Structure 1
Amino acid sequence: MASTIPATMKAVVYVESNKVSVQEHPVPDIADDEILVKNVAIALNPTDWKHVDWKLGKVGSISGCDFSGVVVKVGKSVTDGPKVGDHVAGVAHGAAYLDEGAFAEYVKTFADIVWIVPENTFSHEQAAAYGVAFWTAVQAFYAPGRLGLVEPPAKSPTPEWVLIYGGSSGVGLCAIQLARLSGYKVITTASPRNHELLKSLGADVTIDYHDPDVVAKIKQVTGDTLKYALETIGDEETHKVAIEAIGPSGGRVVGLNLMASKETGRKDVTITETLLYSVSGRPFSLGPMQFPAAPEDRTHMAAFLKKLPQYVLEGALKPIPVKLWEGGLEAIPSGFQYMREGKVSAEKIVYRV
């Protein structure tokens, strides 16, 4: 199989004028602990266009995080992991490295942080959509130092409430399912048009996020006992809602905005911002910001991903809705613009490569 791998490929490259361009690019070499995947489908995330617009990427790097494809080469030390021919899906740190991003015909990744997609379950499009969004929900709930929920297959001994603010976001769609899998009751916010979808994924109660009494309604439904909240939008106001919804006994909020204030205004509520890129176990940068290695995050995600195929086989975790965007790699800029305009709701944009 390795002999059929070409020397170059088409890739979506971050260029100096702060845009992306489809270019010929070398197919990446792999290290002993890595695999090479021939992509079949890729999915968009807000972080992809933000790396471009906010000048967070490195010039010449490959854009994109989420991918699903077929393993075509494995490193020498990969003995207990994916094999050539396996359908795998995973997350790359797009626009950070010259040879690693997902928006390309081939992507390289560490062998221990992909998941093997069971046959006759998720399509490549559905598996690609389970990248950044799903992994972020896993990290926010269960990784060391985050929300501290009971991790499956264990279940919470009592059916406590979890607030997922922004249930129709990609992270929210996945987090609802994970919370139910862990034995929690889920209250979530979203536009009314998405309420039925969120209930089908496991939400117990859905509230219109436009409702001026949203905090009071959360407190009423939960009996003012809420201790855990995941805030997926990242605005100052949405953070405030999540913090205020926590009951008088205090609790924890996890958000997704590193620039947000850590000050909650309440001594009994802690807030932590989580960033998925730490799962690589390497130090990394976002523009001028430097982040130390977090090997514990890689260890945790690798262990969780080994459990994921069984949950998918059992139907305990369902695919989230996808919107297939025609045009392949060349059409990624138009998908970026669609996301910039805030048009994505309750679905993930995916492409065939």
Structure 2
Amino acid sequence: MATSVIPTTMKAVVFDESGGQVSVKEHPVPTIADNEILVKTVAISQNPSEWKHIDWKLGKPGSILGLDYSGIVVKAGKDVSSGPKVGDHVAGVAHSGAYPDKGAFAEYVKADPELVWIVPENTFSHEQAAAYGTVFWTAVQALYNPKHLGLVEPPKKVAKPEWILIYGGSTACGLSAIQLAHLSGYKVVTTASSRNHELLKSLGADVAVDYHEHDLVAKIKQATGDAIKYGADMIADDETKKVTVQAIGPSGGKVVGLNPLQSEESGRNDVTCSNTMLNSVYGYAYSIGSTQLPAVPQDKAHMAAFLKKLPQLVRDGAIKPKLPIKLWEGGLEAVQDGLQYMREGRVSAEKIVYRV
């Protein structure tokens, strides 16, 4: 059942025949299966993944760019008997740059009803809900999935507070991870430029250290009594991984990163490393460039279970729309400009969001 007439075509940011450039085109509105929903997009949010898909020519010709969206359900397949229904405000993460009917930078998005969350009324705006997409879901996967850090999930709290280092706290993923780790009762130390320290503390960081410090590991150890058990590297290059591993206390622990192509060797017998890849939550096999990766049903099940809890956490005020937002005017036509702004490294401690 639909609330209004659904057109056959829509505007979308689509990869060209080479897969190396994108433009706004008239594109078919996705056709949903019996177990899918169709969402009329209201807001979208951008991530580094989008400009990297363009620059690294990872997009498939004819596919739609974009991960994060918020909108209104306008159609549900006949087998969707529970969860979101027509008229609900939902937000989710689409599969960007891989399919002609799945990206988020479009006027309509089709979705798996298990992989959206229903946004309670009078809580998050569409812009705020779109901002809590990839970065928030990635933080959930990194912190709570048992194969990564396996922390205690909200609404539960850890029985005895333990230290976690979140390297790169002013990244959007870092901002989300700080909020979540604090909510779960952990003590949070994070790294970022000094100008962002007050923001990070307002989100729940107990200690913030400037990453420019020449003796950074020593400063982190001193601030935490050398008791860090968990590390989340939200920058995920070789140097930030090295610092995160070195900061783990003498009793050892776990480190998670965001680069699935990075080695999982830690260089320490008492520290295990893993890397997240949010695409694994879709529940089907996928590829990164020429690398083929299998379906991971348990990753989808874990994320779907968390998303079911999310509306109540929002209603209770446990999770609030605290991520700073930069509303970029111009809608889909302005996406290229916003991506260039991010490509130039000008985004810090904020999420760029567009109205569609």
TM over 0.5: yes
- The residue number in structure 2 matching 1:37 is 39
The 5 Å alignment of 1:1-353 reads 1=2, 4-17=5-18, 18-319=20-321, 320-353=323-356
The question of whether the paired residues in 1 share the 8 Å contact of 2:12 and 2:64 is answered with yes
The question of whether the paired residues in 1 share the 8 Å contact of 2:4 and 2:74 is answered with no
Could you list the structure 1 runs, at least 4 aligned residues long, displaced by more than 3 angstroms after superposition: none
Where 1:4 maps in the other structure, the secondary structure is coil
Instruction: Give the residue type in structure 1 aligned to 2:147.
Output: G
Cα displacement (A) at 1:128: 0.0
The question of whether the paired residues in 2 share the 8 Å contact of 1:163 and 1:229 is answered with yes
Supply the distance in 1 between the matched residues of 2:150 and 2:75 (Cα, whole angstroms): 37
Supply the distance in 1 between the matched residues of 2:17 and 2:324 (Cα, whole angstroms): 34
The question of whether the paired residues in 2 share the 8 Å contact of 1:201 and 1:318 is answered with no
Supply the distance in 2 between the matched residues of 1:290 and 1:242 (Cα, whole angstroms): 29
The question of whether the paired residues in 2 share the 8 Å contact of 1:70 and 1:88 is answered with yes
Cα displacement (A) at 1:263: 2.1
Supply the distance in 1 between the matched residues of 2:119 and 2:252 (Cα, whole angstroms): 39
Q: Percent identity?
A: 70
Where 1:195 maps in the other structure, the secondary structure is helix
The question of whether the paired residues in 2 share the 8 Å contact of 1:57 and 1:286 is answered with no
The number of equivalent residue pairs is 353
Where 2:333 maps in the other structure, the secondary structure is helix
* Stretch moving more, 313-322 or 324-333: 313-322
Cα displacement (A) at 1:243: 0.5
1:111-146 Cα distance to aligned partner (Å, 9 max, x none): 011000011111100000000000000000111311
> Which ranges in structure 2 are unaligned for 5 or more consecutive residues?
none
* Stretch moving more, 62-71 or 283-292: 283-292
Instruction: Give the residue type in structure 2 aligned to 1:13.
Output: V
Instruction: Give the residue type in structure 2 aligned to 1:313.
Output: R
Cα displacement (A) at 1:213: 1.5
The question of whether the paired residues in 2 share the 8 Å contact of 1:36 and 1:71 is answered with yes
1:293-341 Cα distance to aligned partner (Å, 9 max, x none): 0010111111100111111122211211110001110111111111111
> Which ranges in structure 1 are unaligned for 5 or more consecutive residues?
none
Where 2:81 maps in the other structure, the secondary structure is coil
The question of whether the paired residues in 1 share the 8 Å contact of 2:69 and 2:133 is answered with yes
Supply the distance in 2 between the matched residues of 1:196 and 1:3 (Cα, whole angstroms): 46
Q: CA RMSD in A?
A: 1.0
Instruction: Give the residue type in structure 2 aligned to 1:330.
Output: E
The question of whether the paired residues in 2 share the 8 Å contact of 1:144 and 1:297 is answered with no
Supply the distance in 1 between the matched residues of 2:56 and 2:300 (Cα, whole angstroms): 26
Cα displacement (A) at 1:3: 5.4
The question of whether the paired residues in 1 share the 8 Å contact of 2:327 and 2:354 is answered with yes
Cα displacement (A) at 1:272: 0.4
Q: TM-score, normalised by structure 2?
A: 0.97
Instruction: Give the residue type in structure 2 aligned to 1:342.
Output: G
The question of whether the paired residues in 2 share the 8 Å contact of 1:67 and 1:90 is answered with yes
